[in-house]
Structure 1
Amino acid sequence: MRSFLSCAARLWLASCALAGLLAAAPAAAQDVKIGVLYPIKTMLGQQGRNGAEVAAEMINASGGVLNGRPLKLVVYDDNYQPADAVAAARKLLSEDKVPVIVGAINTAVSLGVTQVAQQGGALFLAAVTKAPQVTEYDRAFRFNPLVATDGEVFNQYLKDKVKPQRMAVVVENGDYGRSIIASMKGAFGNAVVATELYEILKQTDFSALASRVKSANPDVVCMAFSAPEQGGSLLRTLAEAGVNARRCILPGSVTPSLLQVAGPAAEGAFTMDIWAPTMANETNRKFVAAYQAKYKVVPSKVDFLGFESMWVLGQAIRAAGTTTDTAKLAATLRQGTWDSPRGTLRFPANQATSEKWVVLEVKDGKIVVGD
C-alpha cells in the first residue's frame, strides 16, 4: 500500500509540475487576419494574390506586426462579379472577423466592396482598381492612379514624343474604357478617327474590330485592357489583320503575362507607368528577388500593386498599433509617409501618390525602360 501511494504521489507531483510549465510558457502569437479579394481564376487575379502573399511573407520574416504577430491572408475569389465580391466581403467581416480587406481590380467589384466595408466599419485598400468613388469613404484607399491622372501624364507624352496624326482607341466596354475614350478625344480632338469597345472577359473574336480599325488607317492604336488574355489576343488579331500602326497601351497593361499571350505581336508596344521591376531602390530589389524566388517569373504591375498594398498596410499597422481601430489606422495611413517599391508614398485624399513615372516598351520580347 505504501509503495502504491508513493507511486501515485510521484505521478501527481509530475503532472502538477508539467501543468505549471505549460501555464508559464508564452502563448503562440495569434495571427492577424487580413481579407484578400481578387478574381483568382484569371491571370491578373493570381498576380494580385501572389504579390500580397510575398508582402505578407516579407513582413512576417521581419518580425510581423503588433508585437510579433504574423499576418495571415484570408483569400476569396470575387470572380470579377460584384455580387460574388459583396458576398465574399460580407463573409470576411461577419465570419472571418477581418478588420481590413485588400484587393479588387475592376470598378463594379471595388464599389461593392467599398459599400460593405463602410457598412461594417472596415478598412478597404483598393489595390488595382481606378474607380474614383472608392475614396469617398474615409477608410478606403486607392493605390493605382486615376484614369484622369494616367491620361494627363500619358497624353502629354504622346503629344510631345509620338505626335499621332490619326489615332484609334480600343478599350473595354465599361466606365473605365469610356473614360479613356473621353480623355483621348479631349486631348487629341479630330485626330481620334476610330473608337472601339469590346466586352471584358466575354469577347474572344476580335477580327471584325480589327478590320474596322484597319479601315480607319491610324498611325497609332491606343488600347487598354484589364485581362492580359484578351489584350494578347487583340494584339495578335490586329497584327494578323495588317494594322501597321504603333501600339500605344494605357498604363498598367504591359506585363510579362501580356507578352506571353501576344508573342511577337507585342513587339514595339509602349506605355508609361508608376513602377518598373528595374527601378533602383532597395525595397524594389527585395520585392523582385523574393517574387522571382517564389514564382520563377519577373513581377508585373498587378503583382506590384498586390505587394504594395499589403506592404504599406503592414507598416501602417505597426505605426498605428492596431487593426481593430480602423479609424485610427486610416488616419495613420493619411498622415504618414510610406516605403514602397516605387519609392516614397503618401496618401493625400486617400490616393497613393508618388513622383515616379517611367516609359516602358517591348523590345526583343522583353519589357525595358525606354526614353
Structure 2
Amino acid sequence: MKRVGQFAVVLAAVASFFAWGTEGFAAEPIRIGYMATLTGEGATWGQHEREGALMAVKDINARGGVLGRPLELICYDVKGKPEEGVSAIRRLIYDDKVVAIGGSNYSGIQIAVAPIADKGQVPVVSSTATNPAVTVDPDTGKVRPYMFRIVYTDPYQGKVIADYLIKKCGAKKLAIIGDVEDAYSEGLTEYVKRTAEALGVENRFWGFRGGDVDFRAQLTAAREWGADAVALTMYYKEMGLVIKQAAEMDWKPLFMGGDGYSPNMFEIAGKAMEGTYWVYPMNADDPILDPIKAAFRKEYDRDATEVLNVVLAYDVVLMIANAIETAGVAEGPAIRDALENTQDFKVTHFVWTVNKETHDPLNKPASILKAKDGKLVFLEQWKPEGAPVK
C-alpha cells in the first residue's frame, strides 16, 4: 500500500506548518492518544515526544485534518512505569474513546499494555520500545495484533553493538553492564551476548538494580577480568554514571551504548564521554531533519535536545493519520489493518514499510555515533553482519 497524498506533502513543508490555522472544522474531532513519560527519570524523552506529537497534529489539522475531521491529541503521563501505562491506556480506550495511540518509549510499559490494546481493539504505535515482546508474544510466537513500533528491536541493536565493538574496534574481551530488572536492558543484553559468542569473543555480564548509583564494584570486576570494551545496556542516567566512575578509576575501555542515550549524559559524565560510541535509530545531524528542528525552535522558542524523540513522535502521528485516511473510517480494527499493510510510506527520517510477521519496520538502518567535543558525531551506518550501509 503505497500512498502519496497529503501526509507526504506535510513532510515537504514542515518548516512552515504553523502558517495555517486549525479553525473551520464542522465535524467532530478524531481522538488519538499518546503515552509519554512527562515526569521522573526519562521525562526529557517524554516531554519531547509530546511536543513532537503536538506538532504533527497541528500540521495535519492545518492541512485539512483526516477524513475532513481534525485530529485531537490526548496525552497522559506514564512516568516511565508499567502500572501507569496500564492506567493510561485504559483511560484512553474506555473513557476518551481514542481510535489509535502513540508511545510509549519504554518496553516494559508496552509489554504491559499490549493485552489491553488487543482487547480494546485500538492500535498502539511505539516510538522507541525495542524489546521483541512488545509486538510478538514470546509465549506463542505470534504477532500481537494491535501493537506496532517505529524503531528497530533489541536483537538488531544488540547485534550492532557487539558487531561494531568486535569487528570495527577490535574488542577481545567484552564486558556487559545492565539492569536486571528492566525489559529493555535484559533484551539488549541477551543479544549483545549472543553476537559476541557467535563471533568467538569472551564476554561477561555484571548487573545492577534500578535506582543504583554506584557502579564501582561492577567496573572493578570488569577491569580485573581484563575487559577492553564495555557494552552499556541501560538508560542514560546509569550509563553516564558508569562512564564517569570508570574515568574516576582511571580506567578507559571502549564504551558503547544503545538508544537509551540522552544528551544529558554529557552533563553527568562530562569529559569522560569523549570517545564513547553509540547506536542510534537516526543521525540527528542529517540535513533531512533540519526542517523539523527549525519548526520545533519556532514553536517552542528553544532547540530540541532530544531530536530523536521529537522526530519519532512526529512520525508516529503521521503514520497513524495515514492509516486512518487509508482505512477510510476512524475505527480501531480498520486502522490496525491499514497499519499492518503499510508499504513505502515516507515519513520524516525514512521510508516506512511494516513487517506483517512482527509489526516492526523493515530495513531500518542503525547509525553509529561517537562523542567528540561535547556532542555526538555521526560516523557511519552499520549492519549487524558488519558491512557499512552506503
Q: Tell me the TM-score normalised to structure 2 length.
A: 0.80
Give secondary structure in 1 for the equivalent of 2:212. coil
Q: Which moved more, 1:54-63 or 1:120-129?
A: 54-63
- The answer (yes or no) to whether the contact 2:104–2:110 under 8 Å persists in 1 is yes
In structure 2, the partner of 1:56 is: 57
**1:343–1:354 contact (8 Å) kept in structure 2:** no
In structure 2, runs of 5+ residues without a counterpart are 1-23, 136-142, 381-390
1:146 paired with 2:147, answer no
Aligned mate of 2:175, from 158, 168, 188: 168
Q: Does 1:158 align with 2:165?
A: yes
3-state secondary structure, aligned to 1:51: helix
Alignment RMSD (CA, Å): 2.2
Name whichever of 184-193 and 307-316 sits farther off: 184-193
Partner residue of 2:207 out of 170, 188, 197? 197
* Separation of aligned partners in 1, 2:232 and 2:321: 35
Normalized per residue, the structure richer in helix is 1
Give the C-alpha shift of residue 334 in structure 1. 2.3
Partner of 1:180: 188
1:73-152 equivalence runs, <5 A: 73-135=73-135, 136-152=143-159
Quick one: which amino acid aligns to residue 238 of structure 2? Q
Residue 83 of structure 1 aligns with an amino acid whose one-letter code is E
**1:353 corresponding residue in structure 2:** 362
Q: Which amino acid aligns with 1:60?
A: N
| Structure 1 residue 239 corresponds to structure 2 residue 244 | no
> Does the CA contact (< 8 Å) of 2:276 and 2:371 recur in 1?
yes
Q: Which amino acid aligns with 1:363?
A: K
Which structure 2 residues correspond to residues 220-369 of structure 1 after superposition, within 5 A?
Answer: 220-226=229-235, 228-250=236-258, 252-281=259-288, 284-293=289-298, 294=300, 295-324=302-331, 326-336=332-342, 337-349=344-356, 350-369=359-378
Report deviation, 1:364.
Answer: 0.6
> Is residue 38–residue 79 contact of structure 2 (8 Å, CA) maintained in 1?
yes
Larger Rg: 1
- Equivalent of 1:33, from 31, 39, 42? 31
Q: Deviations over 1:39-71 (max 9, x none)?
A: 21122222332322232233233332221x332
* Native 8 Å contact 2:132 2:155 kept in 1: no
Which deviations, in whole Å up to 9, do the C-alpha atoms of 1:101-147 show, x marking residues without a partner? Answer: 21122233112211111111111112221232332222221222111
Question: Are the structure 2 counterparts of residues 270 and 81 from structure 1 closer, same or farther at C-alpha, using a change threshold of 3 Å?
Answer: same
Give the direction of change, closer, same or farther, for the CA distance of 1:74–1:229 in structure 2 (3 Å limit).
Answer: same
Give the match's secondary structure for 2:145: coil
SS in 2 for 1:348: coil
Q: Residue type of the partner of 2:205?
A: T
SS in 1 for 2:264: helix
Name structure 1 gaps, 5 residues minimum: 1-25
1:216 to 199, 221, 225: 225
What CA distance in whole angstroms lies between the structure 2 residues aligned with 1:27 and 1:274?
Answer: 36
**Contact preservation (8 Å) 1:320, 1:329:** yes
Cα deviation, residue 27, structure 1? 6.2
Distance of aligned partners of 1:57 and 1:263 in 2 relative to their CA distance in 1, 3 Å threshold: farther
CA distance in 1, matches of 2:347, 2:371: 25
Alpha-carbon distance in structure 2 between the residues aligned to 1:262 and 1:78: 27
Deviation at 1:165, TM superposition (A): 1.0
Give distance in 2, aligned partners of 1:29 and 1:260. 48
84-93 or 146-155, larger mean C-alpha shift: 146-155
The answer (yes or no) to whether the contact 2:293–2:303 under 8 Å persists in 1 is no
Give the number of equivalent residue pairs.
339
The answer (yes or no) to whether the contact 1:342–1:356 under 8 Å persists in 2 is no
- In structure 1, the residue matched to 2:140 is none
In structure 2, C-alpha distance between the alignment counterparts of 1:355 and 1:98, rounded to whole Å: 29
How far apart are residue 232 of structure 1 and its match? 1.9
Hey, what's the Cα distance between the residues in 1 that align with 2:204 and 2:134? Answer: 31
Using the aligned pairs only, state the percent identity. 23
1:182-218 deviation line (CA, Å, top 9, x unaligned): 3233222374443122223x22222333332332332
Q: Secondary structure at the match of 1:312?
A: helix
Structure 1 contact 292–299 (Cα < 8 Å) conserved:
no
Give the structure 2 partner of residue 13 of structure 1. none
Deviation at 1:96, TM superposition (A): 1.0
Aligned counterparts of 2:244 and 2:373: Cα–Cα separation in 1 = 16
**C-alpha contact (below 8 Å) 1:255/1:367 kept by paired residues:** no
Superimposed CA distance per residue, residues 14-61 of structure 1 (whole angstroms, 9 cap, x where no aligned partner): xxxxxxxxxxxx764432221111221122222332322232233233
User: Retained in 1: the 8 A contact 2:48–2:304?
Assistant: no
Counterpart contact for 2:233–2:257, Cα < 8 Å: yes
